[in-house]
Amino acid sequence: MSTTLEKTPATTPAFQQVSLARKVKNGFATTLIWLSFLIAVVPLVWLLATVVVNGVKRIPYSNWWTEDFGSVLSDEVGGGVLHAVIGSVLQGLVCAIIAVPIGMLVAIYLVEYGRGKLAKVTTFMVDILSGVPSIVAALFIYALWITTFGLPRSGFAVSLALVLLMIPVVVRSSEEMLRIVPDDLREASYALGVPKWKTIMKIVLPTALSGIIGGIMMALARVMGETAPLLVLVGYSAYVNWDIFGGEQAALPLLMNNERVSNPFDEGTVAFDRIWGAALTLVLIIAIVNLLAMLFARLVAPKKK
């Protein structure tokens, strides 16, 4: 009896003996899972490298940032993307001015007032709205703004289409931020006799504000890269146009598409440099907006204490 006990040490219980087949399966799955992650990183690195390597040729020159393409021929080196940057920023800002209040009101409704069926339907519809393709949003604004109201194509029409795409993102992120505001704050305010709307405006919103602004900037970065509404709703102009309500107006994606369609864009051509230069400019702007968004979002952390 005692001899058999000595032969089987207590440190290796039977269930640690994993059969070879199970080991192989486990190793195989582990490999596949690591591999899938690597597969996803490859296009990202490849994509960014392409944009940076091809785009960096013109960006460092000051005229890239201070001039438009109005005074240079389409196959002439020189000029810059000022007109498109102005267009992109203007359209993005006007879109934000309309979409942010609506989105935040909806978020406040969902968090502070929404009970019952309407709140459920609203949540669902916001999700559905976020799945509407940008070209459909553009066609809707086309049907509404241009055909029904008879108004001209303009940067403002683009902003309206972007509003549709931005609202769901603003609602989602604001809602999330409002929900993490502790109920204690609301209750303390009510206890002092402060009306609900004042509690929301003076207590709840300021507490969540930096996080909300972060979410808004993320949404703004997203819509500034949209191309489809630009194609349908505004014409391209190579000149700076500050008037968002009238006339043709450039934006970075529209500029890229215009150069692509109207000029041969093989490597070494002017159009090639312009397209990738504009792509890098767009990526830089989006990166900056995203960085600011992250900074704002980080500011929310100390308030949780």
Partner 1 sequence: MRPGDRIFQILTTGAGVFVVSLIGLIGLFLLVQAIPALQADNVNFLTSQVWQTTPDDMRFGIMGLLLVTVYSSLLALIIAMPISLGIALFLTQYAPKRLARPFAYVIDLLAAVPSIIYGLWGLMVFAPAIEPFSQWVNDTFSWIPLFAAGNVSPDLRGTIFTAGIVLAVMILPIITSLSREVFERTPTPHIEGALALGATRWEVIRTTVLPFGKAGYIGASMLGLGRALGETIALAIILTGAVGREFTWSLFDGGATFASKIAADYAELNNEISAGAYIAAGLVLFLLTLVVNFIARSVIAKKGD
Interaction residues for partner 1, span 178-197 (CB under 8 A): 195-197
Q: Using the rule CB under 8 A, give the single segment among 3-11, 61-69, 143-151, 209-217 that binds partner 1.
A: 143-151
Q: Which stretch binds partner 1 (CB under 8 A): 140-148, 183-191, 209-217, 240-248?
A: 140-148
CB atoms within 10 A of CB 146: 16
- Determine the interface stretch with partner 1 among 13-21, 61-69, 178-186, 241-249 (rule: CB under 8 A): 13-21
Closest Cα partner for 66 from 84, 53, 93? Answer: 84
Please report whether residue 1 would count as binding partner 1 according to CB under 8 A. no
Would you give the binding string for partner 1 spanning residues 211-240, x where CB under 8 A is met? ----------xx-xxxxx--xx--------
Show the CA angle centred on residue 117, arms to residues 115 and 118, nearest 5°: 80
The residue among 215, 230, 210, 219 whose CA lies nearest residue 130 is: 219
What is the footprint of partner 1 within residues 255-274 (CB under 8 A)?
256-257, 260, 265
Residues from 47 through 76 that contact partner 1 (CB under 8 A) = 47-48, 50-51
For 188, 191, 206, the CA distances from 303, given in Å and listed in that order, are 17, 21, 10
Closer CB to partner 1, residue 134 or residue 207?
A: 134
Shortest Å, Cβ 292 to partner 1: 14
Residue 3 CB, shortest distance to partner 1, in Å, is: 28
Please state, in angstroms and rounded to a whole number, the distance separating the CA atoms of residues 200 and 203.
Answer: 6
Asked if 290 contacts 218 with a C-beta cutoff of 8 angstroms, the reply is: yes
d(CA 212, CA 229): 26
Site residues (CB under 8 A) for partner 1, limited to 283-302 = 283, 286, 290
The reply to whether 126 sits near partner 1 by the rule CB under 8 A is yes
The answer to whether 140 contacts partner 1 (rule: CB under 8 A) is yes
Q: Which is nearer to partner 1, 87 or 114 (CB)?
A: 114
Phi, psi of 85 (to 5 degrees): -65, -45
| Burial of residue 88, with CB atoms counted within 10 A of its CB: 0-12 exposed, 13-18 middle, 19 or more buried | buried
